[in-house]
Amino acid sequence: MWFDSWSAVLRIVLVGAASYAALVLLLRLVGKRLLAKLNAFDLVVTVALGSVLATAVLSKDVRYVDAVAGMALLVAAQWVVTRVTTWLPGGRWFVNAEPTLVVARGEVLEHALTRARLTRGEVLQAVRSSGQGGLQDVAAVVLEPDGTLSVVTRSSAGDERALAEVPGWA
């Protein structure tokens, strides 16, 4: 239970190091997109990659080449989906959630909070974190597809083009 053999430990070390190196290489090949702030799709791929890596390291039944093939498949699928969603008009909605307006021109949109399962306190925390003491100076608070709350102050709203794609902003 505590120890089988040194060969099992050596296998874990060698396969673990090789699998880790292969994963790093795959991530470098696919680019920064996979490592950026995660949307739901990226999170699923990241968790799946971790699962494949852990299985390769700890299971004697999984050959190294099988693990690398699995990791390559996940990385390639993520790359294809991100390419397709950028090439197809409107394809982004399939993978990414759309931003949700939760404060508009200093007014909290209660229906949006309910739909997004946010509390007023979480929104006020984001406002405070942005350096604002109240909602009177806030043009918008947006729940972004990656789950962060963006606070746009009235003084920094400019021509408001950054808010144009947020449903409900007019």
Give the model confidence (pLDDT) of 21-32 as tens digits.
998 888 777 766
Q: Which H or E run includes 35?
A: none
Q: pLDDT category, 52, cuts 50, 70, 90?
A: very high
* Digit-coded pLDDT (tens) for 61-118: 999 999 999 999 998 888 888 888 778 776 666 667 789 999 999 999 999 999 999 9
pLDDT of residue 136: 93
**Fold for the domain defined by 97-163:** CRO Repressor (3.30.240)
Work out the pLDDT band at 44, boundaries 50, 70, 90: confident
3-class SS of residue 152: strand
pLDDT, position 28: 79
CA dist., res. 165 & res. 48, Å (int): 31
d(CA 7, CA 114): 56
pLDDT of residue 38: 65
Residue 146 is predicted with a pLDDT of 78
Using pLDDT thresholds of 50, 70 and 90, give the confidence band for residue 142.
very high
Sheet of 107-108, strands arranged across? 107-108, 100-104, 138-143, 149-153
pTM: 0.64
The three-class DSSP label of residue 113 is helix
- Identify the three-state secondary structure at position 141: strand
The pLDDT of residue 102 is 96
In the numeric block, the tokens 């999984």 are attached to 62
pLDDT value of residue 123: 95
More confident residue, 39 or 62: 62
Does residue 34 register a pLDDT over 70?
no
Residues 6+ apart with CB under 8 A from 115: 100
